[in-house]
Structure 1
Amino acid sequence: ELVKTAETDKLMTYNPTLAKSYWKKAQKALGQSKVNFTLLTYDDDDAKKAGEYLQSTIESNLKGVNVRVNSLPKKTALVRGQNGNFDTLLMGWQADFTDPISFLDLNTSNASYNWGKWANKEYDKYVAASKTTGNENARFEDLAKAERVLLTEQGVVPLYQPAEAWMVRPTVKGVVYNGAGANYNFKYAYVEK
């Protein structure tokens, strides 16, 4: 997360009461009490479990919402995502390099990975400005503003991040554990005697 604020905490906190109030507003605006949609996921264990959890949580908290989980092989799900052939899509993204732009650039209006076609001119302006300034503080402020717009409008909904535990022999030194890109680098690794 770029900037942790009370605003972003509120947006990213599990809040069934707030969700129910928005669901009631949506029912009134749509003039219907029921909604059905499909959640497209990969067919690996983690994605299936996440999809089932979302289905259960949504259906138990929002009466009248029916979620069908469709788990497909990753390649098939990605092709459907790329073609815009989904109601909702649960997918993952790993940063290619250690910079917020690796995630934020994906959601600009014309980005090839913006499969949901979310668009916001203000967001696009902040991301573009972050690429043209020579001032690092101004750049990160633009990126933080872009993130706030994305989270406020829920252009994407970050749900979780994976984590792994590592056991490394104490005599192994110099292994670099990367936060993005390749998980680790053994270029400077050695075994201490």
Structure 2
Amino acid sequence: MLSAHLPPVHPTFNVPAGIPLIMRQILWRGIEYLSLDRVCAPAINHLRHRVGLKGSVQRVFSRWLHSPEGVLCLFPAWFAEPQPDWPRPLTMSGFTLFDGAGDVPLDAELTAFLQAGPAPVVFTQGSTTHVDEHFYTVAQRTLAQLGMRGIFLIGNRAPSTTCRRRYFNARMCPWQACFRSARRWCIPPGSAP
């Protein structure tokens, strides 16, 4: 959700938080109009016209996209505090953690790693795969400096760590079981477990 109160961070452009709120609001409206609406609104309006709906949509991301009956935020408030310009009503549900049917156990290798030392920090790319190798390299270096162990949930990428005593690479693991076993979680911005 777009917010002038807490502007999103983007790899190529950020709205400076230090500028006055009214300027951030104007800047966000301009960004939405000049880029987001120009890309999305024509296709939405074409479809609306084709199915007989009157009028056209504007401000797709800040107004039209959200249901007037309520918005369900699939993350907890500590992850992103509700902002004054977010649509209302909204409900913070927390992260959705679906592991399939029932309580899925950890595999034997991961269980052995967990039992061999203190609780690790778990690093994951979340629901996206936009993080690059640098994320895992910095994570490994940080763990080494802190004397901590780590689990790297790497999806389909090649393993980047080699020290099996301190680091464990897993394509995936059951969220609930892994949450209970972890000291901390590190999820890159823009991702969700």
Could you say whether these structures have the same fold, taking a TM-score greater than 0.5 normalized by the shorter chain as the test? no
Question: In proportion to residue count, which structure has more helix?
Answer: 1
| TM-score normalized by the length of structure 1 | 0.31
